[in-house]
Structure 1
Amino acid sequence: MKPPVPRCGWEGTCGTMGTPSPRAVLVLAAALAGLSAPRAAHGQPNFIVILADDVGWGDLGANWAETKETPHLDEIKAPRAAGASWAMAGGYRSGINSETMFCGFHAGKWHLGHHGHHHPSFRGFDYYFGIPYSHDMGCTDTPGYNLPPCPPCPRHSAAARVARKDCYTEVALPLFENVTIVQQPVNLSSLAARYAEEAARFIRRASGSGRPFFLYLALAPMHVPLEGPPPPPASGRGDNGPWAQKCELAGCLGPFLGAWQRQRGGSSAKQTTWEGGHRVPALAYWPGRIPAKRTSPALLSTLDIFPTLVALAGAALPPNRRFDGLDVSPVLFGWSDVGHKVLLHPNSGAAGKDGEIAALRLAQYKAFYTTGGAMACDGSIGPAEHHQPPLIFNLDRDIQEQEPLDVASREYQAVLPAISRAYAQALEDIATDNVSLADYSQDPAVTPCCNAEHVACRCRAPGSRAAALGHRAEQRATRLCL
């Protein structure tokens, strides 16, 4: 795996796990890349889903000419040789609930709850190898290079604590194998390579078994850059170049500038609900089934992955619950360009309460109820503003989100009632949903800790167990999938 690179691009793991087979399914969402594996002996497809945290729409060279660092991903979108690909023009960041009916392996970042039945081992996966949340949500001995950098884990109780909102120093970041913490703190510098190795091993073993499998690989190296030494503080440079370039590593916007917000200061990218903050690339690969060199304008979401894979596996969704995602296999196969009519955009770090619906998409219209509050690469923070009635942009004409519709215009007045109904329905739906919260920094019962007697929960000497881990994981994957 390559480390994160300057500017907008990051190549990911495409090309590291074998040669694509023409008898496989590859579903990729929210800037995903990966390779396929043979179809199971009894005719069911295998599924590989690779999620790359924080990759922006413009991080693919096939989307944005200024990006030069993603040749393998670009080939998936527009293959030079025989094969097939599909590109989703309107994918959006969102949560993903991973359940599987096949032999299932999840490697990487989970971040859907690590305590009790929220753990991936109790969510349908036969094998889990990864970290329970983002790799900057616990201290390590090899911290990622935030600016300013977070300190490494303390090694004795007398070590000075650094109080910073964006740094976690009390609990070391754990690496799980199933429900067991096998390394705490995890070594971040080798983590991405270990994910790739575990995924490749799983594919080989599962492919030879004849059982269908589901691999979910969640990569996070772009969330905070991990490779390369930080430059001297006096240089005024960030992780992989000037601060503006480091900031771009949160995801290249491409043409989605959020110009209205930029005029007022503050970010229109990560943590915001502007198109640059939520719109991401998606690729899918299934030779012989997915038409080659096709880009769909359908409005899709990562929430669609689960119902789509269930449908492709010939199964049915549980009837006793509601699903926000759609089966979008007709879009994949080129039969339709119809996706969601309405998508919700929750706040994730900008103005307002986290999780509140800050914006709503209705067909080509985007309505904003809250704007501002996120830091831009120049350090500015736009003023927090609440809009009632909402700002409404027509993205068909204004993809840069530069000029909202005039409230007095016929177009605004015509679309506002439908937007208001969709917004009210969304709030009602959320109010009746099940919500669970657990903060490990506040509740010791949910703290992932393999040695509470040691500062930061440090639990092993470097190298004491790592050598045996790969062999044991290979044996486990063999047992599960035979």
Structure 2
Amino acid sequence: MHFWCLRMKQTLDNATQQDSPDFLSYCSGGGGDGGRGGGGGAGAGAGAGEDRWTCRYRATHGSPSTQPNFVILLMDDVGFGDITSFWNPQNLTASTPFVDYMAANGISTFIRASTLIPNLASARTGLTNVPFPTTQGGLPINETTFGETFSKAGYKTGVIGKWHLGQQGDFHPNSRGFDFYFGLPYSPGMGCADDVGFSVDDRVPCPKDWSEMPRCSAVSWYACQGEEGLNFPALPLLNGREIVEQPLNMTYLSLRYTHAAEIFITEREISTPFLLYVGLQHMLAPFYHMPAFTGMSARGDPYGDALLEMDWVIKTIVNVIAENGEAERTLIWVARGGGSSSKATVWEGGHRVPALAYWPGTIEGGRVSDEIVSMMDIFPTMASLAGVDMPGNRIHDGIDITNIVLNKPFSLQRRALFHPLNGYEKDDDNRKMGAVRVDQFKAVYVTGGLPECGGKVGPAVSHNPPLIFNVKEDPMESSPINPASSEYRFILMKVNQALVELELSLAEDNTSFVDYSLNPFVMPCCNPPNVVCRCH
């Protein structure tokens, strides 16, 4: 039976069981004296103040865990102006009403991210993501993911959507501490689909047979694709390690992700806490959305409609948790990864990303924090809240921000965040730092050299001494501090000290290196050696 047909059958079977008179009597109240059928007996009945759904779930799955659940919802390439709650309160075309609701009932902030991945492992790998479907490597094996850390602590762990840290062998999420995986393992722009979506680029559907394969003079396979305007391989949908559809239907991918989240959350013993990471396809080009969202956003264009669908996905997953009676046991992070200019800009537009933490009954709502926090802080904060030890084989760049999240007294020491232009690996003689953030100041060493919105690439300009901005007072980075001022000299001294400390820590740390070499034989394909790769 097909995966989703089986899921629907299970849903109907469960509904039949749970709505039986015996079950309804058990969950109709009565406190500790009310057993099944309403009379004494062995059953405990619905406890005082316990909603019917919680009672239903407890009756079939056991008592809840005392450890919190965690959900990380990572938006892709969403601009901070796209969400009304962040820097855009007057934007009448914003299309994220539920994310706005979460921000109003949680704590919202801008977090600083130097990579696309929210610390699935230490930020010191030199790895932002695996760039191509044919990349042989992935997240180095000696790196410890939060999946491995929490799985060892008894959590059920899962990834839905974009993984982007390798899809072969030991690099697959099922080999990196995650019990559950369902999704497209990399970006939708790294392959073809039959539905081309909306993009500024001219895209064509996947070839249906050999007659539609490109014929060109280029020696390189990728160069040949470029000549013909094609993009291979066909995008795969993975359920665990199995390719269940290729090319996948991008138009309805969000619906399938919400179904997968429901399966992961509900089909487990409630006594087992869970950690779920969801890498959303939104808003990475090309844009897709289900027909039901066409023209429904205030913007009324494909971007706004896709943004509205993203908001619906987040709402649906949050509602599944609430309907499971686990809202007050679940900390939900919503953040944005990615950035403009091929994910390599050092400007705030690529690093100052919207984020919020939502935890009904625990996080005081309506708060906005201007503390300097980072994607890297999510891992140690979750570990602290769960009472789980961080891996001991590394120097960790993230810090525990529990007190910020829970609005308790805290004292952040001076903090430095680094934005390298490459992996900044300790044995790389060509490594170059793009920017360094110390407190509210940012030193910028390189500008330009990256594609603009129209595709034009200007020259890279090095700045020595660096441009320094007070990004708290000047977030647009329009007015650098005068290099002749005493303030500039004092800040530069602090920046140089931070760089020295970084070098010393790299020399002492258990750093690792990434294999970016390409091999077409590792390309996901459901029916090799046929390059068309079609199966449903």
TM score, norm. by length of structure 1: 0.72
**Aligned to 2:397, what secondary structure does the other structure show?**
coil
Identity rate, percent: 38
Name which of 181, 190, 197 aligns with 1:128: 181
1:343-366 deviation digits (Å, cap 9, x = unpaired): 1123489xxx99853111111111
Q: In the alignment, what sits opposite 2:465?
A: 389
Q: In the alignment, what sits opposite 1:52?
A: 75
Name which of 46, 71, 86 aligns with 2:97: 71
The structure number with the bigger radius of gyration is 2
For residues 505 and 341 of structure 2, what CA distance do their matches in structure 1 show? 27
For residues 281 and 139 of structure 1, what CA distance do their matches in structure 2 show? 30
Q: In the alignment, what sits opposite 2:512?
A: 434
Q: In the alignment, what sits opposite 2:240?
A: 178
Contact 1:269 1:276 in 2 (8 A): no
For residues 192 and 356 of structure 1, what CA distance do their matches in structure 2 show? 38
Q: In the alignment, what sits opposite 1:294?
A: 367
Distance 1:356 1:221, change over 3 A: farther
Letter in 2 for 1:444: P
For residues 166 and 60 of structure 1, what CA distance do their matches in structure 2 show? 37
Name which of 474, 484, 489 aligns with 1:413: 489
Name which of 90, 93, 103 aligns with 2:111: 90
Contact 1:40 1:46 in 2 (8 A): no
> Which segments of 5 or more consecutive residues in structure 1 lack a partner in the other structure?
1-21, 24-37, 80-84, 230-238, 250-266, 463-482
1:272-313 deviation digits (Å, cap 9, x = unpaired): 121111111111111232122111111111111111111111
Name which of 277, 284, 291 aligns with 2:350: 277
**How well do the aligned residues superpose, as a CA RMSD in angstroms?**
3.5
Contact 1:112 1:118 in 2 (8 A): yes
Which structure shows the bigger proportion of residues in helix conformation?
2
For residues 154 and 321 of structure 1, what CA distance do their matches in structure 2 show? 46
For residues 142 and 77 of structure 1, what CA distance do their matches in structure 2 show? 34
1:98-132 deviation digits (Å, cap 9, x = unpaired): 41321112110001121222211011111100111
Contact 1:51 1:217 in 2 (8 A): yes
Q: In the alignment, what sits opposite 2:447?
A: 371
Distance 1:42 1:200, change over 3 A: closer
Letter in 2 for 1:326: I
Q: In the alignment, what sits opposite 1:115?
A: 168
Q: In the alignment, what sits opposite 2:195?
A: 142
Contact 2:341 2:453 in 1 (8 A): no
Q: Which moved more, 1:296-305 or 1:146-155?
A: 146-155
Distance 1:447 1:240, change over 3 A: farther
Aligned length: 387
Q: Report deviation, 1:430.
A: 5.6
For residues 301 and 98 of structure 2, what CA distance do their matches in structure 1 show? 24
Distance 1:429 1:168, change over 3 A: farther
Q: Report deviation, 1:410.
A: 0.9
Contact 2:160 2:279 in 1 (8 A): yes
Q: Report deviation, 1:90.
A: 3.4
Distance 1:291 1:340, change over 3 A: farther
Contact 1:367 1:392 in 2 (8 A): yes
TM score, norm. by length of structure 2: 0.65
Q: In the alignment, what sits opposite 2:418?
A: 344
The answer on 1:203 being equivalent to 2:224 is: no
**Aligned to 1:455, what secondary structure does the other structure show?**
coil
For residues 422 and 469 of structure 2, what CA distance do their matches in structure 1 show? 21
Letter in 2 for 1:291: E
1:21-68 deviation digits (Å, cap 9, x = unpaired): x99xxxxxxxxxxxxxx9962311111111111122222211212153
Q: In the alignment, what sits opposite 2:312?
A: none
- Superposition map of 1:1-12 within 5 A: none
The answer on 1:216 being equivalent to 2:237 is: no
